[in-house]
Structure 1
Amino acid sequence: MKKYNITVNGSLYEVEVEELGGVESSAAPAAAAAPKAAPKAKSAAPKPSGQAGAVNAPMPGTILSVDVKAGDSVKAGDTLCILEAMKMENEIVAPVDATVKGVHVNKGDTVANGDLLITLE
Structure 2
Amino acid sequence: MKKFNIKVNGTAYDVEIEEVKAAPAPKAAAPKAAAPAPKAAASAPTAKAAVAAAAGETAVNAPMPGKIVKLVAAEGQAVKAGEVLLILEAMKMQNEITAPAAGTVKAFNVAAGQSVKPGEALVILA
1:55 equivalenced with 2:60 (yes/no) = yes
* Contact 1:66/1:106, CA 8 A, preserved across alignment: yes
Aligned residue for 1:91, secondary structure, equals strand
What is the aligned partner in structure 1 of residue 88 from structure 2?
83
What is the aligned partner in structure 1 of residue 120 from structure 2?
115
The runs of at least 4 consecutive aligned structure 1 residues that moved more than 2 Å come to none
Aligned sequence identity (%)? 51
Give the superposition deviation at 1:52.
Answer: 4.6
Give the superposition deviation at 1:79.
Answer: 0.3
Distance (whole Å) between structure 2 residues aligned to residue 68 and residue 52 of structure 1: 17
Aligned pairs for 1:1-121 within 5 A: 52-121=57-126
Cα root mean square deviation, aligned: 1.1
Q: Can you give the 5+ residue segments of structure 1 that lack an aligned partner in the other structure?
A: 1-50
Distance (whole Å) between structure 2 residues aligned to residue 60 and residue 79 of structure 1: 18
Q: Can you give the 5+ residue segments of structure 2 that lack an aligned partner in the other structure?
A: 1-55
Distance (whole Å) between structure 1 residues aligned to residue 74 and residue 80 of structure 2: 14
**Distance change in 2, residues 1:92/1:80 (3 Å):** same
The number of residue pairs the alignment matches comes to: 71
Amino acid at match of 2:79: V
Q: Which has the larger radius of gyration?
A: 2
* Contact 1:52/1:96, CA 8 A, preserved across alignment: no
* Contact 1:61/1:110, CA 8 A, preserved across alignment: yes
Distance (whole Å) between structure 1 residues aligned to residue 73 and residue 122 of structure 2: 11
Which whole-Å deviations, capped at 9, do the CAs of 1:32-52 have from their partners, x for residues lacking one? xxxxxxxxxxxxxxxxxxx75
Give the superposition deviation at 1:109.
Answer: 0.3
